[in-house]
Amino acid sequence: MTSFASVHAFEAALANLRDPDAGAAADARVRQGELTKPAGSLGRLEDLAIFFAGWQGKARPQIARARAAIFAGNHGVTVHGVSAFPPSVTAQMVANFANGGAAINALSGAAGLELTVVALDLDRPTADFTVAAAMSEADCLDALNRGAAVVDANLDLLVLGEMGIGNSTAAAALCARSFAGGVAGWVGPGTGVDGHGVARKIEVIERALAFHIDAPRSAFETLRRVGGREIAAIAGAIVRARQLGVPVLLDGFICTSAIAPLAAENPAIADHCIAGHCSAEPGHKRLLDRLGLAPLLSLDMRLGEGSGAAVAANIVRSALAAHDQMATFAEAQVSASL
């Protein structure tokens, strides 16, 4: 089933976002006050439990089924030498995912996550976005729908991640086009390019933004002009998850960049999302601040492929376990006050 039958359908979904269940969140907040602990003593774990209660519509939320979806795509902009690795590595890493040998295989297993890997036309990179739109309207809509297709209504948590040589350049371009300000603050080493490589990425993105300066500033047009198939797929998954009320755990800078054009159009799109971690890529903290998302972890990770978000999923599970399994003062016959 196609989630977004047209560009208009996608734009309508982004414009009309469902809200969490305020009553269930309020009930969860009451329960937190009744558990055998000083109020607020579990910090953000309490906030996570209340957050999930709102999106699951019940005071004692649980994670019975969680999925990590990793999207892979290739980028025409790599012709400008913006990555330390060749585009062939994308397909090689997808094969590594399939063989169970990547970090995300180990980390998703440790977090109890189903792992789904979606490779998007790796033999057909996006166009060089310094001289053309990265994708046609049809290609971008297809990517959005392939992302949306990984979201099931019975998921309790969706972890998102990506793989794609050159995609830190696309991510920086998306952020620069979505938000006011210059390019340099969004650009980092990505796969490990040196200072000259960073300067080259900045120059490439500036040329791209100048080329597309007269194009519409809608979320869809920004994604298709300077994004990538895997980033557009993440955007589609985020919007579809909102339609179905499924909370989303975001990975690093590239994954989070998918929400930048969405948030520029409708800032409320971030309300069902959690930042799993803050990566070592310098633009990530700036982006999280812009989106109003506080990361659960900061471990100097910059691998991508959903790795940081998968680690953070264990924090989410801990939060919901404490919320559900702790006794109340009344149940434990513990005095709630002096």
The tokens 């209504």 sit on which residue?
153
What is the crossing angle of helices 307-325 and 22-34, to 10°? 60
Contact by Cβ (8 Å): 84, 190:
yes
Cα(92)–Cα(311) distance, integer angstroms? 23
Exposed/middle/buried for 303, CB within 10 Å: 0-12, 13-18, 19+? middle
Catalytic status, residue 305: yes
Residue found under tokens 């330390």: 84
Whole-number Cα distances in Å, 244 to 124, 127, 153: 31, 32, 6
Structural element, H or E, at residue 117: strand 114-119
72 with 142: CB under 8 angstroms?
Answer: no
Sheet with 273-275: list strands edge to edge.
114-119, 66-72, 157-163, 248-250, 273-275
Q: Determine the 3-state secondary structure of 102 from DSSP.
A: coil
| Catalytic member of 162, 221, 281, 305 | 305
Catalytic center residues = 305
